[in-house]
Structure 1
Amino acid sequence: MQDSRPLSAQILLVEDNPGDIRLTQEAFEQGRIENDLHVVSDGAAAIDFLRQEGEYEDAPRPDIILLDLNLPRMDGQDVLEALKSDPQMRSIPVIVLTSSQAEEDIVQSYELHANAYLTKPVNPDEFIDTVRAFEKFWFSVVRLPPEDDQV
């Protein structure tokens, strides 16, 4: 049986906290999955990246998106809504990775069709463990849609 996972996973991290970006990069570097981690620091840049507009005209289509909710310019819920309402992008899995434990954020994220909701641990080692668990699950267990699965 042939393995259908990409040789190198394209991951878009939408995060404005430099410390969380560094921890996420560290976790992926130490992981077993080859990946290209692309980082944008606000919601408007995430939409530009996904639509390959402006400075992101050569951006790859991500296999998965890690999305913080508390972002400048355009918050994560708005990004999620825009993404899931666009037929070209809605099949890209979106994992909300945020510090918010608010029930209304969890409910709204799932109503907007987030694929998972992870709360960032405060402890750096636990944060890295969370990212590694995410990586193992999403790239070793789950079958992601092929890139040409666009309407």
Structure 2
Amino acid sequence: MNSKHAHILLVEDDPVDVATTKRAFQAKGVENPIHVAPNGKVALDMLLGRGMTALSPIPQIILLDLNLPEMGGLEFLKELRKNPQLKACSVFVMTGQGSSQDLLEAYDLNVAGYIVKPLQYSSFVEKIGTLQSFWNLIELPN
């Protein structure tokens, strides 16, 4: 699958961070469809179609906050990696506060990258631009 057309799932509970991420995507010309889930449980429900129609196609890129209500990011990652249909998704952690413990655990769960969100919007836009460049270089599984 060409990553330029891959759907993206943003797992983020803060409406300001959701809006900032969408604005940064627009600023960098990222046109991939973006779906939003407020926590890991809802994200899994969306991916698996539990209680709703499953996202189709399955988003191959997941941007994941770690500090989430109900089901946190690391718990979500553990469940995602257990599922044969979902384990190939490329997950990028995007968190406001990074700890070395979270970083190690995230990489143990095969994240594609771990990004600490910068405080300044311009720095965040640049990080999104770098992600877009990466997505445009790689091929994702179907």
Q: TM-score, normalised by structure 1?
A: 0.87
What SS class does the counterpart of residue 28 from structure 1 fall into?
helix
Question: 1:84 and 1:58 mapped to 2: Cα distance?
Answer: 18
- Which of 121, 137, 141 is the matching residue for 2:137? 141
Q: What percentage of residue pairs aligned between the two structures are identical?
A: 36
The corresponding residue for 2:39 is 42
Question: 1:95 and 1:87 mapped to 2: Cα distance?
Answer: 19
- Check conservation: 2:59, 2:89, Cα contact below 8 A: yes
Alignment size in residue pairs: 141
Q: Which runs of 5+ in 2 are unaligned?
A: none
- Structure 1 residue runs of 4 or more that deviate by more than 2 Å after TM superposition: 6-9, 30-34
- Check conservation: 1:8, 1:33, Cα contact below 8 A: no
What SS class does the counterpart of residue 134 from structure 1 fall into?
helix
Question: 1:76 and 1:41 mapped to 2: Cα distance?
Answer: 11
The corresponding residue for 1:107 is 104
Change (3 A) 1:6 1:131: closer
Q: How well do the aligned residues superpose, as a CA RMSD in angstroms?
A: 1.5
Measured against aligned partners, the alpha-carbon deviations of 1:17-57 in whole angstroms (never above 9, x if no partner) come to: 111111110121233342101011111101101112223x1
Question: 2:111 and 2:4 mapped to 1: Cα distance?
Answer: 25
Q: Which runs of 5+ in 1 are unaligned?
A: 147-151
Measured against aligned partners, the alpha-carbon deviations of 1:72-113 in whole angstroms (never above 9, x if no partner) come to: 000000000000111110001111111122100000001111
Q: Which amino acid aligns with 1:54?
A: G
- Asked if 1:22 is matched to 2:14, the reply is no
- Check conservation: 1:9, 1:33, Cα contact below 8 A: no
Change (3 A) 1:129 1:7: closer
- Asked if 1:129 is matched to 2:126, the reply is yes
Q: Which amino acid aligns with 1:107?
A: L
Q: TM-score, normalised by structure 2?
A: 0.92
| Shift of residue 6, structure 1, vs aligned partner | 5.3
